[in-house]
Amino acid sequence: MSGFLEVQSTVVDVEEGDAAHRARREQGGQAWKAVWKARPPAPIVCVECRHPMYAKTSERGLRFFAHAPHAPDCEIARQGESEAHHLLKLELASAARKAGAHAESEVRAPDGSWRADVLASDPAGTWRMALEAQLSPITAAEIVERTERMDAHDVTCCWFSDRPRPPWLGAVPSVRLAAAEGGIAVAEGLVKFAGSAWEPAPQVPVADFLRWVFTCQVFPHLPRVRLRYPQRQLAQVWTALQYIAAEDAYLWREEERQRQAAEQRARFKEKAARRRADIDQRNAASRRAALGRAASAEADARRANLGPAGARFHDQLMRRPGVEQAVAHLAGSTTSP
Ligand SMILES: [Zn+2]
């Protein structure tokens, strides 16, 4: 052969499963022994598509094979998808138990309208919450509809994905998970309010996140202030009450600041209008005074030019083109400033 180890299944071991799972575990176990800590490392390929594969372990030590990125569409890759989905469900159930809840896998609604990947519930039976592992593509509309169907039965819901950019993230209560030291962690969707914007919270193990959710320390929230965020804006996030209060306080301060600025602008405008009116008034008064002085000068001139020669001279003066218009304009402008 080529020296490649051919992998026929992604699964090596699972804690729960049917006969087919167990059969795959047999095969996988043999492959695992050949590659795990082998020196030199054994190159592994998918028996169907010949794409390279990696040997991996999950948070809880489950062993599996995964296609390297950019694998072609092949049956084993698709099966691997369902294995990844299965593993994530196991992780979520385990994290829910660690967070103090009961967790059951594959729970159906009494009327069959939904099926929860993991149904977490309060040991006292006061609440139920579906934990959905969503790795395959789904539209935002579809995920909203599925969430509403569970809501109708008083089952709240949180969606989880470890895909880099699930387009539905934030359309429903949801978080993105990422591998972290010591297990999987919430990498996106959990935020805190800092000063004037939302910021991503530090990564937390998924069990811690679930404990906060189950004990009402974090809630789904529709941010009203933008997210100062490296990735993208999210319509809905998870956050603590204190941060929702901080956003409220910020919005209140911002509103107050804008109201004060508007008031100040109105005061400036009023002051400017008063100054304009003052100037207009002073201008009108000085025009009236000038007209008065001109009229009395003219009367003096008439008195000084008594006699027919003086009257003729005056008539000539007044008949010069433009003089009447000028007098009329000056008179008119006193009545309409
Ligand atoms: Zn393949």
Q: Domain spans of the chain? A: 1-72, 80-191+202-218, 261-335
* Residues whose CB is less than 8 angstroms from the CB of residue 237 and which lie 6 or more positions away in sequence, other chains included: 170, 189, 190, 191, 198, 220, 221, 223, 227
Interval between CA 167 and ligand 1 midpoint (Å):
25
Tell me how far the alpha carbon of residue 11 lies from the centroid of ligand 1, in angstroms: 13
| Spacing, Cα 31 to ligand 1 middle (Å) | 15
Q: What is the CATH number assigned to the segment(s) 80-191+202-218?
A: 3.40.1350
pLDDT for 93-134, tens place per residue? 999 999 999 999 999 999 999 999 999 999 888 999 999 999
Render pLDDT for 179-196 as a digit per residue (tens, 0 to 9).
Answer: 887 778 999 999 999 989
**What gap in Å lies between CA 94 and CA 90, rounded to an integer?**
6
* 299 C-alpha to ligand 1 centroid (Å): 115
Quick check: 189 and 176 in contact, CB under 8 A? yes
Angle between helices 308-319 and 241-304 (to 10 degrees): 150
Residue of higher predicted confidence among 284 and 33: 284
Please give the distance, rounded to the nearest whole angstrom, from the Cα atom of residue 53 to the centre of ligand 1: 8
pLDDT digits (tens, 9 = 90+) for 206-232: 999 999 999 999 999 999 998 887 667
* Separation CA 43–CA 283 (nearest Å): 97
Contact (Cβ atoms closer than 8 angstroms) between residue 67 and residue 51: yes
Q: How far is the CA of 2 from the centre of ligand 1 (A)?
A: 17
* Distance between Cα 82 and ligand 1 center (Å): 14
Q: What gap in Å lies between CA 223 and CA 234, rounded to an integer?
A: 8
For the record, the structure tokens of 50 come out as 């010949």
